[in-house]
Amino acid sequence: MNPAQPPLAGQQSAEQPPAEEQSAERPAAQLSDLDRLRHSAAHVMADAVKRLFPAAKVTIGPPIEQGFYYDFDVPEPFTDADLARIEQEMGTIIAADHPFELREVARDEAHRLFASLGEDYKLELLDAIPAGQPVTVCQHGAFVDLCRGGHVASTGLLKAVKLTGVAGAYWRGDEHNKMLQRIYGTAFFEPAELERHLALLEEAKRRDHRRLGRELDLFSINETIGPGLVLWHPRGALVRHQLETFWRQEHLAAGYQLVYTPHLARETLWRQSGHLDFYSENMYAGMDIDGQQYLVKPMNCPFHVMIYKHALRSYRELPLRWAELGTVYRYERTGVLHGLFRVRGFTQDDAHLYVRRDQLAQEIDRVIDFCLRMLRAFGFQEFELYLSTRPAHFVGTAEEWDEAEGILRRSLEASGVPFQVDRGGGVFYGPKIDLKIKDSLGRRWQCSTVQVDFQLPERFDMTYVGEDGGRQHRPIMIHRALLGSIERFFGILVEHYGGAFPVWMAPVQATVLNVNGAQAAYAAEVRDALRAAGLRAEADLRNEKLGAKIRDAQLQKVPYMLVVGDREASAGLVAPRPRQGQALPAQPLAEFVDKLRLEGQIPRA
């Protein structure tokens, strides 16, 4: 979801803004103790940069979920050697134990101060502070910064600080503005906490889905085709097939009906839905077909609306639950594209529910329960829920919003999962619930979104025949994405499992390894038997040492290696070797087939 755009009906959270965009510029009262520590570290880093690079101009430096950053306008990009020098200088500032002093100043005094320092960006930030709002600055030692507050007492309390990297970032996130240099860092209260965090960062690098996607031959992005457009290789496509098969199986069992819709539509549809008014910057240019403008779809919801309107609907039909794995296309700036996490073409695991007002509470309960069950089936056990309430600008009546928010709140309370309230964070057409998962490294990922919509039923004049025989009853529309998008969720799974997918998802479930050429024919026979049983198997018949074959299969994260030597070949046995753990005793091939078929079954949520 592009944070610079107001969300549209049906706009889901498939594409999330980076954590720093979500966390930047929070009021001091909202900062935790750890946030205050990291905010203080950001100030110390800016001080160190100014000492070493006097020409640097300072911009914004907030705490974020995993640490902090600060953006600088500098003549030349920072190098790794520069980061080492900056970190060393930070140590000097920390050792001096300067107190952090926050004070209110007159607006014209602040203007003179930052003008004298040549800090153009601070002057721009100062001008953006509304009239009547106090202006505050924070100083430690000789360094002074425009700041709303939220610090520890002194620099000496920064006992565990580390700079972690540097990247480019546009000023204010706008590609039309100047490219700045963003230095990332992190800070903790204790050195042991920092060491654990740095170890997790190293593990995250090893699990990076872009790296594993290449090593495991899962997917690629080809510049000849275009950035942000994914090519699914056979092994990655097979994992995706298993994921989608599970998705369809569970949706059908939960009372959903599947629909398919086109990839493009006439401009008039997008004008009626409001996308051309609110979302045109994220849509691709149209094409002329028979004198009519057509646009590729950024969302699926208007198509589902037209299916609803294809026939006269009765109150007896509701609720209607329609689901689609619909591929959509959205323009994302090149600078924010990131592997499978931020792309330009992706498959939304979309669903739209049409309910009567008296059915809304029950359906929200069902949706939350369904989302939690589905995500648990993929191995996720820790969740966070968020309720986003009425924003300043909204459609519908305040009474409708209050009723819908109350229903969402009661459903969240009934779920048993802790939730937070994001006041004013709802989209303009209705309140919503967002669900985050926590992966094996403790990182949080936005996945499911449930949005109540008062707008599209009005825009498209959607009605149903009520129990009273009247035809002008208006349904309520629920937009729901469960996984977010297939591409992004696939990337999350790769990193969650480190590429070692569960047996039911693994592209190759077993590789047969012959000890030498004498067992090649039997190894091929075992592979064919596994395939005939519906299992995904390969045979490594290369003239290589067994140790090398085992190592290669382990690198490919294959769940089972089946070693066959003379004894196994003569007795119709296989010697299973799991990718983790000790080799199992040799066993009849039929016995292993039964075991693998049981482990490889697509689960039930």
Q: Which residues are catalytic?
A: 301, 330, 348, 350, 352, 432, 479
Other Cβ atoms within 10 Å of 394 Cβ, number: 20
Distance separating alpha carbons of residues 218 and 197, to the nearest angstrom: 29
With CA atoms as reference, report the closest residue to 53 among 79, 32, 14.
Answer: 79
Distance separating alpha carbons of residues 301 and 477, to the nearest angstrom: 10
Distance separating alpha carbons of residues 564 and 513, to the nearest angstrom: 6
With CA atoms as reference, report the closest residue to 355 among 481, 482, 479.
Answer: 479
Buried b (16+ CB within 10 A) or exposed e, 20-48: bbebbebeeeebeeebbbbbbbbbbbbbb
Distance separating alpha carbons of residues 392 and 395, to the nearest angstrom: 10
Query: CA of 370: how far to CAs of 175, 255, 397, 437, 593, in Å?
Result: 39, 11, 29, 14, 32
Evaluated on CA atoms 107, 111, 117, 122, the torsion sign reads positive
Distance separating alpha carbons of residues 499 and 529, to the nearest angstrom: 26
Looking only at the bridges linking them, the beta strands covering 143-146 and 160-170 are: unpaired
Give the 3-state secondary structure of 274-317.
Answer: CHHHHCHHHCCCCEEECCEEEEECCCCHHHHHHHHCCCCCECCC
Phi–psi pair at 544, nearest 5 degrees: -125, 160
Rg from Cα positions in the chain = 28
Is the Cβ–Cβ distance between 311 and 335 less than 8 Å? Answer: no
